[in-house]
Amino acid sequence: MAKDRKIDMVILGLLAHENLSGYDIKKRIDNSISFFWKGSFGSIYPSLSAMEKDGLVQKADTGENSGGREKICYSITPDGKNALISWLEDTKAVNDLKYETLLKLFFGGVTDVQTSINTINAFENEISASLEMLKMYQANLSKVLDNKDHIYYYLTVSFGVETYEGYLKWCEEAKEMLGKLS
Amino acid sequence: MAKDRKIDMVILGLLAHENLSGYDIKKRIDNSISFFWKGSFGSIYPSLSAMEKDGLVQKADTGENSGGREKICYSITPDGKNALISWLEDTKAVNDLKYETLLKLFFGGVTDVQTSINTINAFENEISASLEMLKMYQANLSKVLDNKDHIYYYLTVSFGVETYEGYLKWCEEAKEMLGKLS
DNA sequence: AAAGACATGTAAAACGTTACATGATTGC
DNA sequence: GCAATCATGTAACGTTTTACATGTCTTT
């Protein structure tokens, strides 16, 4: 059994759906799951090599090469699928959240109120932009819910929409409360 | 200027309020900010040593030693306070979220629906328990909002309450949607 | 010919957790 | 005496990001 490298599971999960190259995997991560999970080339390529050695993935036919350098596609093996499923069946899941925004706010009393308001505004702007995108994804996915996989994608996007809307509501409340101080 | 070790800022932020030992810092982290930031002894003690060398903190009078081994308290220096404030004034904040729960749900189509429902239930139980605690903190803090620092603590706790309630709402919606599949 | 997208891969650095080593004091 | 709590500190380990190195093909 592999260690606990979650990037392995991300890759296996994506390969369970379609054959992909390392470069494609990065793109899938960036525009599908990046709001709750990230990955870089420096972790993807070594993970693919390690999993190939362990027989969890194997090199597959490379589809059309869309220009550029040679492309190496991978497929998931039966062993890889078993590893993916045992991970999925373990209900233990670590949700590791690091909000530097909250950290700054928690220590806001050290300096002036406007500094905290600025921090909240920066957060609000970032979240507003992301929320727009998530809502577009959500709207598109809601039209194709007859596909079983799409339901799962829809649920994760909905999680994002729900929490991001909560963030924005909180931003307003927080700024109102801080506004009374200054 | 120090690197980018956020644990340094956590420690400086706590020391800006009161002198603390490494052991105390760990306790403060665990029961005040752990829902959005974590820290272990293995990062706290080395950070204190490094910041002492850099003149951001210094050894201070140790208050009553509440039994046990010798206790080393630290205070923040003017340089430390400046470092803290420059960090606070930089509105750039990285919020790094890793939801293994969502990762498992995203790949839920690989196996049976019940597996995803189990994952959501486990998440829901964890969040429900934490939400109870957060609400207690929130209620207590709401009584002492005349203290300026308490307003900042109250806002971060409110962030937790807001998002956790969103999580639970989403859990119900997600389970309802998945229930229709099985 | 230069820029930019496509594509793989490695090495260094940063960071954090876990586990271990050590040791004092208090209460049972 | 033993367990629990208080308390500091280090070392090993693992993961991930960042930066770098390399190379092709297409478009301007």
Q: What are the pLDDT digits (tens) for B92-140?
A: 999 999 999 999 999 999 999 999 999 999 999 999 999 999 999 999 9
Q: Are residues A6 and A85 in the same domain?
A: yes
Q: Are residues A110 and A85 in the same domain?
A: no
Containing structural domain, residue A38: 2-89
Q: Are residues A104 and A123 in the same domain?
A: yes
Q: Are residues A81 and A155 in the same domain?
A: no
**Domain harbouring A62, CATH code:** 1.10.10.10
Contact A178 B151 (CB under 8 A): yes
CA–CA dist B126, B128 (Å, integer): 6
Element (H, E) at B76: strand B73-76
Q: What are the pLDDT digits (tens) for A78-113?
A: 999 999 999 999 999 999 999 999 999 999 999 999
Q: Answer for B31: CB within 7 Å of strand D.
A: no
Q: Which long-range contacts (CB under 8 A, 24 or more apart) does B67-73 make?
A: B71/B21, B71/B23, B72/B21, B72/B22, B73/B19, B73/B20, B73/B21, B73/B24
Residue B34: predicted pLDDT: 94
User: Which parts of chain B sit beneath pLDDT 50?
Assistant: 1-2
Does residue A1 surpass a pLDDT of 50?
Answer: no
Q: What is the mean pLDDT of chain A?
A: 94
Q: What is the pTM of this model?
A: 0.94
* pLDDT band for position A181 (cuts 50, 70, 90): confident
Mean pLDDT of A143-156: 95
Does residue A2 surpass a pLDDT of 80?
Answer: no
Q: Is B168 on the interface with A (CB under 8 A)?
A: no
Protein-proximal positions, strand C, CB < 7 A: 5-12, 14-20, 22-26
Contact B33 A106 (CB under 8 A): yes
Q: Are residues B22 and B57 in the same domain?
A: yes
CA distance A136 to chain B (A): 18
Contact A162 B155 (CB under 8 A): no
Place of tokens 């995108």: A133
Residue A96, phi then psi, degrees to nearest 5: -110, 110
What domain count does chain B have? 2
- Examine residue B85 and state whether it is found in any structural domain, yes or no: yes
Between the CA of B82 and the C1' of D20, what is the distance in angstroms? Answer: 35
Q: Are residues B28 and B50 in the same domain?
A: yes
Instruction: For residue B155, give the chain A residue with the closest CA.
Output: A174
